[in-house]
Structure 1
Amino acid sequence: MTRAGLRLLPLLLCFWPETAGSINPAMLRVTVDHVNCNGGVNSQYAFAITLPHATCSNPQNVATYLPTTQLADMRETIRPSGALYNPPSGNIVAAQPNEVIMPSGNTRSTVPGRMPRTGLLLLPLLLCFGPETTGSINPAALKQIVDYVNDNGGVNKQYAFAASLPHDTCNNPQNVSTYLPMTQLKVMRETIRSFGALYNPPRGHIVAARPKEVITPSGKYTEHSEWRLLSGQNSLVAQLTARTYRRDSCLILFTFNSPCSTKCLAEAGRSNIVGMTSNAFFAMDNNYKAFVFQSIFSYDMKPEVTRQALLDAWHRLCNVPLLRCDNNGCQDCTATDPENNPCLAGKA
């Protein structure tokens, strides 16, 4: 084995020819997404982690062993090509590919996790990354629920809502008015007509927010409505799920315009919601959760934002399927080809 083959040796220990089962795939996905959302980079890299059996089986406490603060530090460390993340303590190590200059003057890249003599490339881990693809709420049922809220409680401008409903209602929304009464939605509409408004009743299955202008000594900026629903340990979504979410519940987050690529989904964006969204939908069954938008955010319709760049930004959202629900129904946004992704309809 060459010295380069030692770059991520601990990772190799995970891939002996085990045949009697493996970590539950759904639970593995939650763990991998937690790392990728909070500590990964949008390019080739690899990581190895060790966790207790109980956490691998039910990763509700994965942040105890892989804190988001440590993962943020890991992300900054592995941004450069060739970087290694190998802290003196903790449960994770990571590596970027490294260009090696040979005595002959030729170069080659050492891929993280590869042992050149054996040709072993650890692709199984890499297949875990990328946009969420393993199901979502039935698109036809989701369309009925979103339309019901928009028609009876929404406003025809930027706002966001989160709704928690029983599985049965998400599968067949005939009784959606039982949990989202039209009288309550009417109050919600009146409340959120004003720019900057929040709708956060002491009871009920829905919360909503409008954007808000914030004035500071150095200028002003806008808090986006999705961020206002998700931000803080006691966020509106956290309060909603605390009072209504059960094992047989589904959670829908809707925003009138898609989360913006420059603030909401940018790593250094002021209103970055990637980690917040991941945490809000953490460990929920994909068949009972959805992040929905109706139209593409106006700035992201400009030609300087390419279809590929916008799609890459959308795919930073982890732990929840992203769908676009408009007059064409609800379309899944997971396709990686920017020319064929239905959620990019209307984008030049």
Structure 2
Amino acid sequence: MKSPAPLKRLLLLLLLTQSAKPQTVDINTLGRIVTFFDQNYQTFSVNRDPQQYAVAINVLRTQCEKDFLPKRSNFLKEESPDVKTFNPLYEGKELIVARVKKADGFSIHAERLLLTSIENHSIPPMTNLLNKLKDSCTIFYTYKSPCVKSCLNESSPYNILSGLDNWSKHSSVKAFVFKDIFWADKPKENLQESFKKIVARVPLYRCVSENECYACKGEGNTPIDAHCLPPPEN
């Protein structure tokens, strides 16, 4: 039995509406959002060097589209103005932030605090954040790239890959972003192979400044873009 013409038109309209939604974060807007994070949520050590931290947001898609300008007046407005005082973890309505936690002689990395079930959380903070809004825009930003030896190592009990798997199933446009390469991983570690583990789950970007962001690519047999890797050794 053929569908009535009005029903066909309605189905076509729905399909066109779905396909019109942007499937990736606008890269220029991404640079502005990362700068907003660094200006508002990053803390500094005693010698004024920026500390490692990680932040994730789950917001309306329109806030990740072209020409959006994040400001305190229009972006993450319901979050505490004292996010930096929450150590090592802040959980808000649209925002979660973590710094490195020293525990029993070792460090729990900021990415792991957000993506896995630790710190007395039966559910990872990222999972709680994702459950609050569907069909949205989700950005995970870590100032230093995830380390090769634990965060991106399947054999390590401290890896974040299961957390990325969970995020990959969420119905949002996604961006995993970093600014600097973790000091212990440059240039000796195989970041090409390790970064591909992220790309296999969510899109990877590097934003080194507000006006300088790169899509790291790396899907399938495509190599990771050179802008997302340390310079070659001489």
TM-score, length basis structure 2: 0.75
Aligned twin of 1:199: 90
Counterpart of 2:214? 331
1:299 aligned partner: 184
Aligned to 2:64: 170
Give the paired residue count.
195
Instruction: Provide the residue aligned with 1:141 in structure 2.
Output: 29
SS in structure 1 of the partner of residue 184 of structure 2: helix
- Asked if the contact 2:186/2:230 (under 8 Å) is kept, the reply is no
1:150 aligns with 2:31: no
- Contact kept, 8 Å, 2:32 with 2:69, in 1: the verdict is no
- Alignment match, 1:224: 109
1:301 and 1:347 in contact (8 A); partners too: no
Do the aligned residues in 1 keep the contact of 2:140 with 2:176 (CA within 8 Å)?
Answer: yes
Structure 2: gaps spanning 5 or more residues: 1-22, 44-49
Matched with 1:265 is 152
Counterpart position of 2:123? 234
> 1:341 matched to which residue of 2?
226
The percentage of counterpart residues that share the same residue type is 27
CA-CA distance at 1:176 after TM superposition: 5.3
1:289 and 2:174 equivalent?
Answer: yes
CA distance in 2, matches of 1:163, 1:276: 15
Q: In terms of Rg, which structure is larger?
A: 1
The answer to whether the 8 Å contact 2:187/2:230 transfers is: no
Q: Deviations over 1:288-343 (max 9, x none)?
A: 2110111000000143x2xxx211011112321011111262111124446x5211
The whole-number CA distance in structure 2 between the counterparts of 1:269 and 1:259 is: 13
Quote the residue 2:204 is aligned against: 322
Measure the CA separation in 1 of the matches of 2:223 and 2:124.
34
Structure 2: distance between partners of 1:325 and 1:161: 14
Query: Could you tell me how far apart the structure 1 residues matched to 2:187 and 2:228 are?
Result: 16
State the distance in 2 between where 1:145 and 1:257 align.
16
Q: Name the SS for the 1:268 alignment partner.
A: coil
Secondary structure of the equivalent of 2:82? helix
**C-alpha separation in 1, matches of 2:232 and 2:40:** 29
Shift in Å, 1:280: 1.7
| Deviation digits for residues 257-283 of structure 1 (CA, Å, limit 9, x no counterpart) | 001111100111232111211212314
Distance 2:232 2:171 in 1: 31
Cα distance, 1:347 vs structure 2? 5.5
Match of 1:256 among 133, 136, 143: 143
> Match of 1:320, as an amino acid?
V
| SS of 1:209 mapped into structure 2 | strand
Q: Aligned equivalents of 2:37 and 2:223: distance in 1?
A: 31
Q: Say whether the 8 Å CA contact 1:227–1:273 is kept in structure 2.
A: yes
Contact 1:164 1:241 in 2 (8 A): yes
Q: What pairs up with 1:84-123 in 2 under 5 angstroms? A: none
Distance 1:275 1:347, change over 3 A: farther
Q: RMSD between aligned alpha carbons?
A: 2.3
Q: Which amino acid aligns with 2:126?
A: V
Deviation of 1:222 (Å): 1.6
Higher relative contact order (CA 8 A, sep 6+): 2
Equivalent residue, structure 1, for 2:101: 212
Q: CA deviation at 1:185?
A: 6.0
**Richer in helix (by share):** 1
Question: Which residue number in structure 1 is paired with residue 3 of structure 2?
Answer: none
Give the distance between the partners of 1:337 and 1:251, measured in 2 at CA.
Answer: 24
CA shift in 2, pair 1:347/1:258, >3 Å = farther
Tell me, yes or no, if structure 1 residue 190 matches structure 2 residue 190.
no
1:159-180 deviation line (CA, Å, top 9, x unaligned): 0010111111110423553341
- 8 Å CA contact 2:168–2:201 kept in 1: the answer is yes
Q: Shift in Å at residue 189 of structure 1?
A: 2.0
Asked if the contact 1:257/1:295 (under 8 Å) is kept, the reply is: yes
Unaligned runs of 5+ in 1: 1-134
Per-residue CA deviation, residues 91-122 of structure 1 (Å, 9 max, x unaligned), is xxxxxxxxxxxxxxxxxxxxxxxxxxxxxxxx
Letter in 2 for 1:158: Q
- 1:208 is displaced (CA, Å) by 0.6
TM-score (norm 1): 0.52
2:164 aligns with 277
